[in-house]
């Protein structure tokens, strides 16, 4: 999968002449805390909600902000492994996508790329991946591990990330050494754990372990 196929067409770019009020309205509508900025088809960087709140002036123009990640962009034909690498290097949540003439054609939400990455890893590696959502107060890796081990399985790796849409919740990604996750899912469900994604894997391909490690490292950013 290449960058052009990962573009999120629901995320519109701001223009330099737009004001912060418009940016805040769009962020609220999209439930995003940042947006790309474009001028004459050129990617100029990212405007964040924190930047606007810091100046406390909704009449300020986008052009007057010092934008972030102005160089965080990829060519439309970039493989999504490399999209994730660029995002991780810049600690970015969005990556601009440019055509061969360096003109802006869209933006990639890194969360979408992580999902695509996990799905790709799920095709090539043995075992399975579960993504759980839970309140921070309810998180206990020891308890989750105990429930999984009751089904004769083990957690090979885990990653915990604050939910971008709800700061009181966590997203817990688990790599488990079992292909059939049915019994594990039933057990976790019985104990009140909410599973929001699952990926089942089949075979090993050279290089995939490093790529999965990159995914799990990104989830910790």
Alpha-carbon span 47 to 137, nearest angstrom: 32
Instruction: Supply 115's token pair.
Output: 């999902």
* Exposed e or buried b per residue across 72-99, where buried means at least 16 C-beta atoms within 10 angstroms of its C-beta: bbbebebebbebbbbbeebebbbbbbbe
- Per-residue model confidence (pLDDT) at position 216: 56
- Per-residue model confidence (pLDDT) at position 204: 46
Give the model confidence (pLDDT) of 139-157 as tens digits: 999 999 999 999 999 988 7
Instruction: Say which residues have a Cβ less than 8 Å from residue 34's Cβ, sequence separation at least 6.
Output: 27, 46, 47, 48, 49, 68, 93, 94
Q: Which residue is it, tokens 């492994």?
A: 81
* Exposed e or buried b per residue across 150-162, where buried means at least 16 C-beta atoms within 10 angstroms of its C-beta: ebebeebebbbbe
Residue 115's pLDDT band, with cuts at 50, 70 and 90, is low
Lowest mean pLDDT among 52-56, 101-105, 126-130: 126-130
Residue 96's pLDDT band, with cuts at 50, 70 and 90, is very high
Calculate Rg over the CA atoms of the chain. Answer: 19
Going from the C-alpha of 184 to that of each of 16, 115, 189, 202, the distances in angstroms are 51, 21, 8, 17
Q: Which residue is it, tokens 């083990």?
A: 154
User: How many beta carbons lie within 10 A of that of residue 121, not counting itself?
Assistant: 22
Give the model confidence (pLDDT) of 162-220 as tens digits: 876 777 889 898 888 888 899 999 999 999 999 988 876 555 454 555 655 555 555 55
Instruction: Say which residues have a Cβ less than 8 Å from residue 207's Cβ, sequence separation at least 6.
Output: none
Q: How far is CA 86 from the centre of its chain?
A: 13
């Amino acid at each position: 999968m290449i960058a052009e196929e990962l573009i999120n067409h629901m995320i519109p770019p701001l223009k330099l002449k737009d004001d912060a009020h418009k940016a805040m309205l769009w962020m609220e509508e999209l439930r995003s805390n940042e947006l790309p900025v474009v001028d004459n088809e050129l990617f100029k960087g990212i405007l964040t909600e924190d930047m606007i709140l810091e100046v406390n002036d909704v009449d300020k123009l986008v052009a007057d902000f010092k934008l972030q990640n102005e160089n965080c962009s990829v060519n439309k034909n970039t493989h999504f492994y490399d999209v994730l690498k660029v995002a991780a290097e810049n600690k970015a949540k969005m990556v601009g996508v440019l055509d061969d003439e360096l003109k802006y054609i869209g933006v990639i939400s890194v969360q979408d790329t992580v999902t695509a990455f996990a799905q790709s890893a799920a095709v090539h590696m043995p075992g399975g991946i579960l993504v759980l959502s839970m309140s921070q107060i309810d998180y206990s890796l020891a308890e989750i591990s105990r429930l999984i081990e009751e089904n004769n399985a083990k957690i090979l790796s885990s990653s915990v990330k604050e939910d971008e849409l709800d700061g009181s919740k966590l997203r817990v990604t688990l790599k488990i050494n079992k292909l059939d996750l049915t019994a594990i899912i039933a057990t976790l469900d019985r104990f009140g754990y909410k599973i929001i994604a699952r990926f089942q894997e089949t075979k090993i391909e050279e290089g995939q372990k490093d790529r999965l490690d990159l995914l799990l490292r990104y989830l910790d950013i």
